[in-house]
Amino acid sequence: MSEGALRAHLLAARLAGPVATTREESLRSYRLFAARDPRVLLGLDPVGRWDEGALLGLMADRCGVSADPAQVSGPDVIDPGLTVAALGVFAERLREAAGARSPVLFGTGHPHRLLEFYATLAGALSAVGCVVLTPAQGVHVDMATRFGVREHRLDYVRGVALVREPGARGAGSATGAHTHSPLPVRLALGALAESGGPLPELVVGDHGWVCGAGQLGVEAIGLADTDDPALFVGEAEGRVAAVVPLDDAVRSAAYGPLTRFVLQRAGLPVRQEWP
């Protein structure tokens, strides 16, 4: 897939350009991040002083949102050129992991939308000899929800970690909870450390999976929307290796062309199924 074709798809699918995330949502996240609200820090402990103005400037630079603080409503905007460029960096890191046969951990807080994207990448890396790690499967973790703290469990689908709510369908199903929490990646990394098994040399995912891993010194790459400033701050401070700006909640099939683009750029098999 050419960069021009990818840009056209990003705009047509509203993965970039005007996106469904509103300016109000993004600005609210920047205010909460500036106040160090853990709900938007996603496990990151920022080193710098990130006030609302600094965050807006960073997000304008990394995502293409308007840098005008007077713009407070309407859809937010992502520059498709920045998305394409970041996907190239993302793919290069996967190429390096494949060449080194690195152990890799995948995890998502958006299983309904992004599971197929990550699972295809996991299958391709596994096919070239990387170990796709699945630690702490079935282990329970208490997580904050709008209904208070609820017990969830960690599960893996085609090599991709997600968490399930109480009463959700059983292991192996694609049903999972939407979460920003860094607790699942901390649990997974802790289980690997305790078992003496190989630790991941790369974590691939979103939300708390990326920030939580980066904060612990594990190289991490991922996807992030305009209302997820933590990943871009982590990238700016050197604790996240690559972040791709895009709408992370469109229909699952819309990410298919991005998957093919990344696999082609990384030199990985494009149609490899999970073993």
Using one digit for the tens of pLDDT, what is the confidence trace for 88-125? Answer: 999 999 999 999 999 999 999 999 999 999 999 999 99
pLDDT of residue 109: 95
pLDDT of residue 274: 36
Q: Which of 5, 239, 15, 202 is nearest to 90 (CA)?
A: 202
Q: Please name the amino acid found at residue 261.
A: F
Neighbours of 82 (CB within 10 A): 17
Q: Which of 84, 10, 41 is nearest to 212 (CA)?
A: 41
pLDDT band at 154 (very low <50, low <70, confident <90, very high): very high
175 has a pLDDT exceeding 80: no
d(CA 161, CA 220): 15
170 has a pLDDT exceeding 70: no
Q: Would strands 148-157 and 202-206 be described as parallel, antiparallel, or unpaired? A: unpaired
What does the angle CA 216 – CA 51 – CA 224 come to, to the nearest 5 degrees?
A: 50
Average pLDDT over residues 10-28: 98
Average pLDDT over residues 219-244: 98
28 has a pLDDT exceeding 50: yes
Q: Which residues make beta-bridge pairs with 155?
A: 162
- The whole-model pTM stands at 0.94
272 has a pLDDT exceeding 60: no
- Look-up of token digits 């292991």: 171
Q: Which of 79, 96, 17 is nearest to 265 (CA)?
A: 96
Query: To the nearest 5 percent, what fractions of the chain are helix, strand and coil?
Result: 45, 20, 40
Mean pLDDT score of the chain, rounded to an integer?
Answer: 93
pLDDT of residue 57: 98
pLDDT of residue 23: 97
pLDDT of residue 84: 98
d(CA 47, CA 236): 10
Average pLDDT over residues 137-154: 82
pLDDT of residue 168: 57
- Look-up of token digits 């993965």: 15
Least confident span in 7-21, 39-53, 145-159, 197-211: 145-159
d(CA 109, CA 249): 11
Least confident span in 7-16, 167-176, 214-223, 254-263: 167-176
3-state secondary structure of 78: strand
